[in-house]
Amino acid sequence: MAIIMADTSMTVPAWATRVELRAIGGGGGGSSSLATDTTGSFCGAGGGAGGDAWGVYAVSPTGGGLSVTVGRGGPSEQTGGPTLVSYEGQTLLQAEGGQGGLFYSTDGSAGGTGGLASGGTLWDQTGTSGGDGQSGAYTFSGYGGRPLGWWWTVRQSGWQRRYPLWCRRRRCIFCVRNKCALYWR
């Protein structure tokens, strides 16, 4: 398995008859809070996750090569770039970048939507949406979307804590202090 982090082209090895490919689009840029005074609210929002396409494809060593264009993460409030995988000049996988988070006002901001994916033979998964920012004096809100999971936030009087939450095909698992639970969403 190779993880490709930059645009590249490669020749199919002489022994290869099929190849497993996965493409993940760039994440959208989060929005800034734009609070300007010490009593202002902070409410930046997260950018959406890039789409995720995965598949297995027949190849021929006498055919053309593979070409990969890697989507970059978006700058503040901008869409992430698409990731494309092509073989013999034809696009096999396409994973769009997530939309950027948008600042509306100090009362709240909207997280970006996740990018779409297409061409996968195993799956085409839309990226998760970025978290919405909510107002609150000196509370930094909003989080970026992720292709396969997100954070679960516990808030109680005066404190909050974030725990990882992983979901796949409507099954989710979260862990708190080495104790894990599985649930369906």
Residue of 179, 184, 159, 154 whose CA lies nearest to 169: 184
**pLDDT above 70 for 81:** yes
Least trusted range by pLDDT, from 37-41, 69-73, 94-98, 107-111: 37-41
pLDDT in tens, 100-126: 888 776 667 788 899 999 999 998 999
Residue of 148, 11, 129 whose CA lies nearest to 66: 11
pLDDT in tens, 85-104: 999 889 999 999 999 888 77
Domain locations along the chain: 1-31+42-137
Q: Which H or E element spans position 60? A: none
